[in-house]
Amino acid sequence: MSNFHSFDDIKKAIANKETDCKAIVQSYLKNIQTKARLNAFVEVYTHAALEQAEIIDQKIAAGKAGRLAGMVIGIKDVLCYEGHQVNSSSKILEGFESQFTATAIQKLIDEDAIIIGRLNCDEFGMGSSNENSVHGRVLNALDESRVPGGSSGGSAVAVQANLCTVSLGTDTGGSVRQPAAFTGIVGMKPTYSRVSRYGLIAYASSFDTIGIFSTNVKDNALVMEIMAGPDDFDSTVSKKPVPNYSELLHFNKQVKVAYLRETLQSSSLQEEIRTNTQTVLEQLRDEGHEVDEVEFPLLEYVLPTYYILTTAEASSNLSRFDGVKYGYRTPNAHNLESMYKLTRSEGFGEEVKRRIMLGTFVLSASYYDAYFTKAQKVRRLIKEYTEDLLTKYDYIIMPTTPSTAFKFGEHSNDPVAMYLEDLFTVQASVSGVPSISIPNGEDNSGLPIGLQIMANSFKEADLYAFANYLMESTN
């Protein structure tokens, strides 16, 4: 099988009888084996994927195949898939087998997508480097001494290294967009509530979204239009109609674009990223689009607001993992209290324990109003300010990350430096608006640079069209 550049190429090859689903799966399986050192996959569903491919080949021959026939998808190890293990890359869930399938995954399967395996990630989605996994770190295929980004590092590398057509990740504060930038691919975070969270093991419930990695915008848009929409199992999901995103990619209008002065003037921004971002903005001006510099005075509060609220939600969500009903239970307990304490101490990794303790602190009676309540109020201000900007402008453009992929261990002993890697991605998460990262050239070391575009809530169709236009024009 050739290295197909898009799902359209795969469909064309199948239609011309140059290949079939089984051959495509076999090719990906061979790639996964050849590139096993990257550690992207936690588990590969070899037999199940091949069996499903044979069934779909029969459907294609009968003219009854779904829209994703021939698409091979990897899923992040926080998404439930009935009859398969899921452990959020954590010791505390070792051996746990899901009893149901996440709605987002089921919708893809119903359209004949083939699920090839589950993908490595930072434990419970907490991290920016994929160094916090019980399964070991994931390597960036472009430079194996550097991180792939996190928390969805395995999902990003699986697409980057051609181990599957598309992959699913989750984005709580940038966990799809940041690794997409570090690996040179497309990563989409939808509007909060656009995609059902049923079957997603929660980190921070009011922030968590299921996102998509792909090599191009059209594949991403197609998967999103199938995944999105109402779900009886998730009371927080939107019932708004879902456009056919993949058919609305044509872009031929003049738009208003804002960029935040504070992002391009940030002292932490790598110079090549600043230059490449400014180049795109100048290109848009030259093409007749309105491009304005705007101020976002709340930017310095976005990151602390995000970490106060997400750690608080994490401490609550992760309280269910106590060794009683499922997962790891310490063999060293001598009574019920020690069983709780030792199970959680031994089962959770250092970063997860750090965030649980921070979240427990901000929720404590003495500090609840000083931290949690205040952060909720600031979140509302950030959301309103962002949405106000997006009523005046069609898009906000900024770098996806302050730097390109850093080396393993570079920030391991400095949690604050690691958290600052989320500096530009958390605004969309705090505000709940959709955001996409697309490739925007390379730095002087040949490492990918990401460009982030934000649009107003439920404007994914516009966002995909503009992102596709920028990718085609800049490339």
| Paired residues of 117 in beta bridges | 44, 74
Q: How confident is the model at residue 416 (pLDDT cuts 50, 70, 90)?
A: confident
pLDDT at 355 over 70: yes
- Of all residues in the chain, the percent with pLDDT exceeding 70 is 99
- Give the residue from 11, 453, 67 showing the smallest Cα distance to 227: 67
For residues 207 and 375, is the Cβ–Cβ distance under 8 A? no
3-state secondary structure of 120: coil
3-state secondary structure of 331: coil
Distances (CA, A) of 93 to 169, 313, 347: 19, 19, 8
* Range 32-52 average pLDDT: 98
pLDDT in the model for residue 161: 98
Residues annotated as catalytic (active site), given as ranges: 76, 151, 175
- The 10s digit of each residue's pLDDT in 420-441 is 889 999 999 999 999 999 999 9
Distances (CA, A) of 362 to 306, 309, 419: 13, 9, 18
pLDDT in the model for residue 91: 98
Pairing of strands 41-44, 166-171: unpaired
- The 10s digit of each residue's pLDDT in 398-413 is 999 999 999 999 988 8
Range list of H helices, 188-249: 217-227
Tokens 């019980």 belong to 134
Q: How confident is the model at residue 122 (pLDDT cuts 50, 70, 90)?
A: very high
Q: How confident is the model at residue 223 (pLDDT cuts 50, 70, 90)?
A: very high
pLDDT, averaged across the chain: 96
Q: How confident is the model at residue 475 (pLDDT cuts 50, 70, 90)?
A: low
DSSP at 83: T
pLDDT at 2 over 60: no
- The 10s digit of each residue's pLDDT in 44-62 is 999 999 999 999 999 999 9
- The 10s digit of each residue's pLDDT in 331-353 is 999 999 999 999 999 999 999 99
**Around Cβ 206, how many Cβ atoms within 10 Å?**
16
Distances (CA, A) of 6 to 36, 41, 90, 266, 434: 23, 21, 33, 36, 23
- Domain positions in the chain are 7-247
**Could you give phi then psi for residue 15, rounded to 5 degrees?**
-65, -35
pLDDT in the model for residue 389: 98
pLDDT in the model for residue 4: 87
- Give the residue from 119, 121, 152, 158 showing the smallest Cα distance to 137: 121
- The 10s digit of each residue's pLDDT in 124-135 is 999 999 999 999
**Torsion (CA) 271, 277, 278, 282 in degrees, nearest 10:** 160
The gap between the terminal CA atoms of the chain, to the nearest Å, is 26
Q: Domain 7-247's class?
A: alpha beta
CA distance 280 to 76: 32
Tokens 């569903």 belong to 45
pLDDT at 156 over 70: yes
- Give the residue from 63, 65, 57 showing the smallest Cα distance to 26: 57
- Give the residue from 396, 392, 464, 468 showing the smallest Cα distance to 428: 396
- CA 462 to chain CA centroid, Å, is 20
pLDDT at 81 over 60: yes
pLDDT at 1 over 60: no
**Around Cβ 159, how many Cβ atoms within 10 Å?**
30
Is residue 250 packed enough to be buried (19+ CB in 10 Å), middle (13-18) or exposed (0-12)? exposed
* Range 16-21 average pLDDT: 97
**Around Cβ 31, how many Cβ atoms within 10 Å?**
17
Tokens 């738009």 belong to 255
In the chain, the amino acid numbered 371 is Y
DSSP at 97: B
**Around Cβ 346, how many Cβ atoms within 10 Å?**
15
In the chain, the amino acid numbered 29 is L
pLDDT at 417 over 60: yes
Contacts of 54 (CB under 8 A, 6+ apart): 21, 22
For residues 147 and 153, is the Cβ–Cβ distance under 8 A? yes
* Cα-based angle 39, 41, 47 (whole degrees, multiple of 5): 135
Q: How confident is the model at residue 414 (pLDDT cuts 50, 70, 90)?
A: confident
Distances (CA, A) of 200 to 131, 211, 212, 277: 21, 12, 14, 34
For residues 309 and 206, is the Cβ–Cβ distance under 8 A? yes
pLDDT at 474 over 80: no
For residues 2 and 16, is the Cβ–Cβ distance under 8 A? no
pLDDT in the model for residue 89: 98
Pairing of strands 114-119, 72-76: parallel
